Amino acid sequence: MNRKNTLWILIFIVWGLSSQAQTHLYATPTGAGSANGLSWENAYTLQAALTNANNNTIIHLMVGEYTLTSEITIPDNVTVTGGYELTSTGTDQTHKLAPGYNSNWVNPTLCTILSGDYTHRIATVRGTLEGCVVRYGRTTGNGAGALIDGGIVTHCVLMNNMAYNTAETSQAKGGGAYVQNNGQLLNSVLCYNRADNGFGMAGTTGNIVNNTITQNYGTNCGTVADYDGNVYKTVVIGDQCWMRENLRAKHYSDGTAIPQGTSNSSDPCYYNPYTSEAETQVYGLLYNRPAAWRGTSNSTGSTDNPSGMQGVCPEGWHLPSPAEFDQMASFLKYDANNLCGNNSDYIGKALASTDNWYTSTTSCAVGNDMGSNNITLFSAQPAGVYDNNLGAFNYNCYFITSARNESNTNYTYVRYLGYSERGLMSTDRYFYHGLSVRCVKDVETDGNGD
């Protein structure tokens, strides 16, 4: 065989490999029939379709919610395309309900929803992902909804994902998506995502064109220090910025010392009933009302929003009123991922820390399945209450507010979480009881009094 014929044979082999026939696979949330993936009647699950995909494969997804227990990877030369109606019989694009065609992005009868449980990123994309809603992803790295690693994400909605570095040694970027290695993010919507940086999306190299990026927000608003030099982490919830730790200040912001109490007192004091400095770092100090309000047992308090009462808080921060706690609760109730059992009153787990609570067998209670707590990063710890000794430790946490019970002014309104409770609860405590303090950042103005 001469060199010319050999060259032509090689060309035909290369051409044959590069023009490999396109494979179509079908997937539904639960699979169907004999599950060979070759038709809707015998559909794969998404995970099975990805396992069986070869070079130049298109995976067609029926509408519905695909609950992912681990991150998926879409390889190079594989396309995952969603939005096919229940009446679809094949690959006809006229039967697609891409998210851009409707705004009901949480309805699984109208959208293909790739949904996580806030324990992992949803997808690494090296091929193509199109026509899907991507939600409830979480990562300590970059790109909680999608890490677009040289691939393409197009005509998707990426929402309610969170990139947060728990170690806080560096910032996690791109709540909805992170683009790298010349990836492409096209014609998509990124909303309600959270991240340390690049709240909706971020990236290094790539093509980002014709996207709507709106209503994404950060996980914090920096840090704040008290007079004693304690530095506190913060968390953004809606339009408010809260301390993410209980106050440990032994001085007011002007340097005035707060006396330490060892028994119930009507004079301003803090209590430290914990057995070690390590415990105090976790649970903070407990303050009676005169100390927290920087007043007396007869102070009138405030029910305003914002309260306008700095009290024991650092400069630029204030004690929250009941109305400010209610504002936070209202924000959480309108986002389904903050709820347990899809009940708008069950927001306790979203606020509670993932450890230190007494265990509960009550479904959706703070002390039940603690690993699913703290999606808000508020990190409430069960510090208990001081009433001549420490009570309810590891059972409840009580946050003092700026308002008193006008029917009995010796009592202060508090908000609390309990190990066996499901919501953010309301009660009152006697003015000399020691309670936890969480401060809220003052609203910044533009200098014109607005």
Q: What is the number of domains present in the chain?
A: 2
pLDDT band for position 100 (cuts 50, 70, 90):
low
**176 and 242, same domain (yes or no):** no
Quick check: is 66 in a domain?
Answer: yes
Predicted confidence (pLDDT) at residue 4 exceeds the cutoff of 90: no
Confidence of residue 286 (pLDDT cuts 50, 70, 90): very high
Confidence check: pLDDT of 445 > 60: no
Is residue 2's pLDDT more than 70?
no
10 located within any domain = no
What residues pair up with 286 in beta bridges, in sequence order? Answer: 271
Q: Is 153 helix (H, G, I), strand (E, B) or coil?
A: strand
62 and 186 housed in the same domain = yes
Tell me, yes or no, whether 362 and 243 share the same domain. Answer: yes
Given a cut of 60, whether residue 12 has pLDDT beyond it is no
Using pLDDT thresholds of 50, 70 and 90, give the confidence band for residue 431. Answer: very high
Same domain? 347 vs 429:
yes
Place of tokens 């309810």: 392
Return d(Cα 327, Cα 172) in angstroms, integer.
28
Q: Under a CB-based contact definition with an 8 Å cutoff, are residues 182 and 157 in contact?
A: no
- The DSSP string of 204-219 is SSEEEES-EEES-EES
Q: Which of 184, 217, 250 lies at the terminal end of a domain, its last residue? A: 217
Whether 36 is covered by a domain: the verdict is yes
- The model's pLDDT over 306-332, given as tens digits with 9 standing for 90+, comes to 999 999 999 999 999 999 999 999 999
Range(s) of the domain holding residue 71: 18-217
171 and 33, same domain (yes or no) = yes
Band (89; pLDDT cuts 50, 70, 90): confident
Would residue 13 count as lying in a domain?
Answer: no
Asked if residue 231 and residue 191 are part of one domain, the reply reads no
Instruction: With residue 26 as reference, give the H or E element that holds it.
Output: strand 23-27
Whether 381 has a pLDDT exceeding 60, the answer reads: yes
Torsion of CA 378, 383, 386, 392, to 10 degrees: 120
Q: What is the DSSP string of 339-406?
A: -BTTBTT--HHHHB-SSSPPP--STT-TTSSGGG--TT---B---BEESSSEESTTTEEEEEEEEE-T
Alpha carbons 185 and 302: distance in angstroms, whole number: 48
Question: What's the one-letter identity of residue 18?
Answer: S
Assign 422 to helix, strand or coil. coil
Contact 138, 121 (CB under 8 A): yes
Q: Tell me: cis bond preceding 306? Omega within 30 of 0 counts.
A: yes
Confidence grade of residue 278 (pLDDT, cut at 50, 70, 90): very high
Q: Give the CATH number, domain containing residue 153.
A: 2.160.20.10
Confidence of residue 98 (pLDDT cuts 50, 70, 90): low
Residue 163 lies in a domain: yes
Q: What is the structure's pLDDT at 86?
A: 86
Query: CA 50 to CA 349: how far, in whole Å?
Result: 34
Mean pLDDT of all residues belonging to the chain = 92
Q: Are residues 153 and 262 in the same domain?
A: no
Neighbour count for residue 408 (Cβ, 10 Å):
9
Q: Residues 6 or more apart from 328 whose CB is under 8 A from it?
A: 237, 238, 240, 242
pLDDT at position 376 is 93
Contact (CB, 8 A) for 154 and 101? no
Q: Residue 55 falls within a domain, yes or no? A: yes
The pLDDT value given to residue 449: 40
pLDDT at residue 11, as a whole number: 41
Confidence of residue 51 (pLDDT cuts 50, 70, 90): very high
Q: Are residues 203 and 246 in the same domain?
A: no
Q: Is the pLDDT of residue 389 over 70?
A: yes
**Is 359's pLDDT higher than 80?**
yes
Q: Are residues 262 and 366 in the same domain?
A: yes
Distance CA 288, CA 309 (A): 15
Euclidean distance between CA atoms 328 and 305, whole angstroms: 11
Range scoring the smallest mean pLDDT among 19-28, 242-251, 283-292, 394-403:
19-28
Tell whether 11 is covered by a domain. no
How confident is residue 104, by pLDDT bands cut at 50, 70 and 90? confident
Q: How confident is the model at residue 390 (pLDDT cuts 50, 70, 90)?
A: very high
Please state, in angstroms and rounded to a whole number, the distance separating the CA atoms of residues 29 and 295: 60
pTM above 0.85, yes or no: no
Of 217, 241, 270, the residue that ends a domain is 217
DSSP β-ladder status, 411-418 and 396-404: antiparallel
Q: Which amino acid is at 298?
A: N
Residues whose CB falls within 8 Å of the CB of residue 450, separated by 6 or more in sequence, listed in order: none
Question: What pLDDT, on the 0 to 100 scale, is given for residue 3?
Answer: 52
Same domain, 400 and 290: yes
Residue 168 and residue 298 share a domain: no
User: How would residue 9 be classed by pLDDT, with cut points 50, 70 and 90?
Assistant: very low
- Do strands 72-74 and 123-125 pair parallel, antiparallel, or not at all (unpaired)? parallel
Show which of 195, 217, 239 is a domain's final residue. 217
Contact 206, 151 (CB under 8 A): no
Phi, then psi, of 41 in degrees rounded to 5 = -70, -25
**Confidence at residue 1, expressed as pLDDT on a 0 to 100 scale:** 53
d(CA 248, CA 245): 9
248 and 376 housed in the same domain: yes
Q: What is the structure's pLDDT at 33? A: 86
Per-residue burial over 135-162, b = 16 or more CB atoms within 10 Å of its CB, e = otherwise: bbbbbbebbbbbbbbbbbbbbbbbbbbb
At residue 167 the predicted structure's pLDDT band, cuts being 50, 70 and 90, is confident
In this structure, is residue 8 part of a structural domain? Answer: no
**Of 94 and 30, more confident:** 30
